[in-house]
Amino acid sequence: MTTYGERLAAMNKAHVWHPFTQMKDYNNSEPLIIERGEGIRLFDMQGRAYYDGFSSVWLNVHGHNVPELNEAIADQLGRVAHSTLLGMANIPAIELAGKLAEIAPQGLTKVFYSDSGATGVEIALKMAFQYWHNRGTKGKTTFATMNQAYHGDTIGAVSVGAIPLYHETFRPMLFPSRVIPYPYAYRHEGGEQGAMESTLSALRQLLETEADRIAALIVEPIVQGASGIIVMPPGCLREMAALCRKHDVLLIADEVATGFGRTGAMFACELEGVAPDLMVVGKGLTGGYLPVAATLATDKVYEAFYADYEEQKTFFHGHSFTGNPLGCAVALASLKLLEERRMVEGVEAKASFVARKLAALNDRPHVGEIRQKGLMIGIELVRDKVSREAYGWTERIGVRASLRARELGMLTRPLGNVIVFIPPLASSEAELDEMTDILAASIVHAT
C-alpha cells in the first residue's frame, strides 16, 4: 500500500516540470511538498515546519494563512471571482488603482494591470516604445538596461535581461538592448565610488551619443535582485534618473522585487527621491497571495495614447485576467495591513537587528560580502576572502548552504554563490533571531 504522500511524490516526478530547475537533479532529490502555511512558516506533508526565509521567492509580506487576507478573498469570492476589464470595470480594480496612485512615487497616476512581474515589464516596454511612436518621434526603438539585470522570463523581459546563464540561449529570439555596467562595488577595483563612476560615465556616454535611439532605461532600483542582491551606491539611482531626464529617455523602475516595503521604503525609488515615468510592481502587491502585477504610468505617458480612435494611438494590450477582482481585493487588504500595522516603518528596526546578527559572519573565512538593504539580504561566499576568488558554479556552494538550511528548518534559494535571506516583513524579532542562526549555521556547514 502506498501512502497519499508517496503517490503525490510519484505524480510530481512524472508530471510536474518545475521552473528554473534541472529536472534530472530534482528527480534525484527528496521532494519537498508543502501542504499548508501558518505565520511565516510552511509545513510539509510530514508536518515538518520551515521558516519561509525567502518569502516564497520574495513575495510574501504578512506571512501565510492571514485571516484578514483570507477574508478579503472569501468576501470577494461571494460577489464575483472574475470579470473582464475590457470596456468595463470592477470595484476592487478601481479601488486598488486609486490606492496605488496615492502611495506611488509622485506623478504615477495611471495603473495598467497584469498577472506577473514579467508581464508587467512587457507592458512597460511596449508602453515606452509606443509612447515615442504615438508622439511621432522616430527611431527611439531600443532599450537601455544594466549588466546582470533580471526582469522576468517573457521575451521582452528577457531582451532587457542580462544574466547570460538564463538569457543567452534565447539571444536569436530577442531584440537587442544596450547594456551598461551595474555598480557592483565588491567586484570593482575602484570600490563603491569607482563602480558608480563606471556606471554613470557609461550611461552618460550612451545617452550623449544614442539618446535618439533609446526609448527607455529599465532598472531594478537600489537593489539588483537576481544577480545576487547587489545594492547600488548611494546617489547612483538619482544620478541615473537625472541623466535620463536630461536626454529625454524614459525611466522604467522595475519594483517587482523591491516594492511594498522590502527595502525599508514603500518603493525603493523613494530612497533617492526618484519619480520614474513607468513603474512595475508585482510579487508583494497582493501580500504574495495571488498573481497580480501592475504597470504604473505618468499622465505624460498616458496622454500620448489619449486620442480619437482613428489616430491609432490605442494601447492594444491586455490579458484574460487583467484586473482580476480576487487579486485586487487581496492587494487592497494587504496594503491596508501594511498601513495599519505600520510595517514599512518597522523594517528599519528589523533590518538593524538582522545586520547586527549577521555582522559576526564577517569573520568567517569564506564570507566575501554581506549585502543588505532593508530586509533584502545577500551573502556572497568566496573561495578566497583576500583575492575574492569566486567558487566555481559547479561547486554549488549556495545549493549546499540552502540544503543545510532546509535541514535546520528554513527555506531559501541561493543565487549562485550568494545566499539569499528575504524574510517576510511580518517576521518578529524572535523569528529573525532564529532564522539568522540557521542562516549562519548553514553557511558554516557549507564552507
Binding residues for ligand PLP, rule: CB under 6 A, are 116-118, 121, 150-152, 220, 225-226, 254, 256-257, 282
Compute the least distance from the CB of residue 154 to ligand PLP, in Å.
Answer: 8
Shorter beta-carbon distance to ligand PLP: residue 149 or 337: 149
Please, are residues 403 and 409 in contact by the beta-carbon 8 Å criterion?
no
Specify the pairing of strand 410-411 against strand 49-52. Answer: parallel
Q: How far is the CB of 216 from ligand PLP (least distance, A)?
A: 15
Looking at the Cβ atoms of 150 and 260, the one nearer to ligand PLP is 150
Report which DSSP code applies to 104. Answer: S
Residues near 40 by beta carbon (within 8 Å), at least 6 away in sequence: 51, 52, 60, 63, 64, 423, 424, 426, 427, 431
Q: Which is nearer to ligand PLP, 220 or 277 (CB)?
A: 220
254 is in an annotated binding site: yes
The verdict on whether residue 320 carries a ligand-binding annotation is yes
Measured between alpha carbons, how far is 282 from 288 in angstroms, rounded to an integer? 9
Q: Which is closer to ligand PLP, CB of 226 or CB of 375?
A: 226
Of residues 116 and 372, the one with the C-beta less far from ligand PLP: 116
Annotated binding residue 190: no
402: annotated binding-site residue?
Answer: no
Nearest distance, CB of residue 257 and ligand PLP, angstroms: 4
CA angle 153, 154, 160 (to 5 degrees): 75
Q: For residue 215, how many other CB atoms are within 10 A of its CB?
A: 24
Say if residue 50 carries a ligand binding annotation: no
Is 401 annotated as a binding-site member? no
- Which residues, including other chains, have CB under 8 Å from residue 254's CB and lie 6 or more apart? 117, 121, 124, 151, 218, 219, 220, 221, 280
CB of 164 to ligand PLP, least distance (A): 17
Residue 404's alpha-carbon distances to 237, 328, 400, 401, 440, in angstroms, are 36, 37, 6, 5, 10
Residue 198 CB, shortest distance to ligand PLP, in Å, is 22
Distance of CA 255 to the CA centre of its chain: 6
Q: Is 374 annotated as a binding residue?
A: no
Name the minimum Å distance from CB 131 to ligand PLP. Answer: 20
Q: Which is nearer to ligand PLP, 252 or 446 (CB)?
A: 252
Distance CA 373, CA 356 (A): 13
Q: Is 404 annotated as contributing to ligand binding?
A: no
* 250-254 and 230-231 beta bridge pairing: unpaired
Beta carbon nearer to ligand PLP, 63 or 288: 288
Residue nearest to ligand PLP as judged by C-beta position: 117
Question: Is 227 annotated in some ligand binding site?
Answer: no
d(CA 252, CA 425): 25
- Least separation in angstroms between residue 226's CB and ligand PLP is 6
Measure the CA–CA gap between 358 and 157, rounded to whole angstroms: 34
Enumerate the known binding-site residues for pyridoxal 5'-phosphate. 117-118, 254, 319-320
